[in-house]
Amino acid sequence: MTVNEKLKAYIQKRGIKQSVIANAIGMNERTLNGILNGRITLKVNTLVSVCEFIRVDPAFFLNDNTL
């Protein structure tokens, strides 16, 4: 599983809306959706921003963890 796939699964599992995350981190919802679906490259600063909002260590998505 890629980092963006893990992040998307984590967000979906917890019922967090992408629009809420996008607004909280100052990103367009379509851009966040594109990142989570692998159409747009996930940058480290975006991963950190999302992780700060959902209160998860970014390393969780970088390691070989299963959700």
Q: Residue 33: what pLDDT?
A: 98
Phi and psi torsions of 66, nearest 5°:
-105, 145
CATH number attached to the domain at 3-56: 1.10.260.40
Q: pLDDT tens digits for 20-63?
A: 999 999 999 999 999 999 999 999 999 999 999 999 999 999 98
Burial track 17-39 (b if 16+ CB lie within 10 A, e otherwise): ebeebbeebebeeeebbebbeee
Write down the pTM of the prediction.
Answer: 0.88
Residue 64 banded pLDDT, cuts 50, 70, 90: confident
Residue entry with tokens 């967000």:
11
What the block records as the tokens of 51 is 């992780």
Amino acid at the residue 34: G
